[in-house]
Amino acid sequence: MKMNDYINDFTNHLREAIEIANNTELKTNTKEIRNVLICGLGGSGIGGTIVNDIVSPKAGIPIAATKDYSIPNFVNEHTLVIANSYSGNTEETLYALKKCQARGAEIAIITSGGKLKTIAEENNYNKIIIPGNQPPRAMFGYAFTELFFMLNHYGIIDDSFKSDFDKAIALLDTEKADIQKQAMDLAKKMYKQTPVIYVANGFEGVAVRFRQQINENSKMLCWHHVVPEMNHNELLGWRTNVDDLAVVYFRNKSDYERNQIRMDINKKVISEYTDNISEVWSKGDSVIENSLYHINLGDWVSWYLSEMNEVDAIEIDVINFLKGELGKI
């Protein structure tokens, strides 16, 4: 399969993830959960970042994500730790998990197999197993969806997310042709440029996903920033070294009103230095719909750019080299 095949199947991935979750039996938790830590990196970890953006404003307890070997000092027997590694062999996640186990945390696993699945089975941890042997970033729809079901099982969120997912799936199917057209138009403006991605606070995970897909699929460097924070620093950077930049604003009707105003002013400032500025408004009535809309569109952009750059979107030779070198130590 090529990367565009995976992107084309995105809503099918979401549907199947929902079916897998509904058919998975999870044991009842008896611990009092006071905080949550989601462990994961790369194509697996970004799901935790986006879920954190969506869930934290409504959750009654703190939720954090770690993308490292280390864990926060707050982790204890009242922490729900969700270890999320598609392969089940992510080195950093396994190291972090071991430390969480030593603290007596409540452990839950989302994976397709590997060492993580073995650990879950040996310790009778709650686990959701998703289809394996595919590029992790291409299977985002599975791990992302299962995080919501896991948080719901532990009472961290209610089940309103289920209808949001159903609406998002219907929306993406209906808007598929238009999303692809927007993505192609955007890719043309980003071709042979360095993309600069801006979003409002609450959607940084979506921007990171877009950046990662451009990095991995399109084999391009880019950066992102968040409003309002970028107003206090990066906005001043728009004076020098501003050649060959393509600015992309991912916007949502749900963005905070003052941030909407800030983004409009930002465009006026930046337009003095480049006319390569694009704005993409999401569709849908919920943050889940908005996020999945932009994620799917961004994935298509990364594919079209890979074609324009004449690179293999799936190839990750340099990452495999890094892992091989680490494995020697």
Q: Name the H helices within the chain.
A: 3-8, 10-22, 42-55, 91-102, 114-123, 140-153, 161-174, 176-190, 204-216, 257-270, 287-308, 317-327
Selected catalytic residue, list 232, 268, 325, 328: 232
pTM listed for this prediction: 0.96
Mean pLDDT of the 1-8 span: 94
User: Residues 164-222: pLDDT tens digits?
Assistant: 999 999 999 999 999 999 999 999 999 999 999 999 999 999 999 999 999 999 999 99
Fold match between domain 3-159 and domain 165-308: yes
Predicted local distance difference test score (pLDDT) of residue 303: 98
Selected catalytic residue, list 106, 204, 216, 289: 216
Tell me the torsion sign for CA atoms 178, 134, 123, 74: negative
Which CATH superfamily is 3-159 part of?
Answer: Glucose-6-phosphate isomerase like protein; domain 1 (3.40.50.10490)
Predicted local distance difference test score (pLDDT) of residue 317: 83
Classify domain 165-308 at the CATH class level: alpha beta
Domain ranges within the chain, ordered by starting residue:
3-159, 165-308
Residue 99 annotated to the active site: no
Cα–Cα dist 186/322, whole Å: 32
Residue 232 annotated to the active site: yes
Mean pLDDT of the 6-21 span: 98
Which residue do the tokens 């990364």 mark? Answer: 302
Residue 323 annotated to the active site: yes
User: Residues 115-155: pLDDT tens digits?
Assistant: 999 999 999 999 999 999 999 999 999 999 999 999 999 99
User: Residues 256-307: pLDDT tens digits?
Assistant: 999 999 999 999 999 999 999 999 999 999 999 999 999 999 999 999 999 9
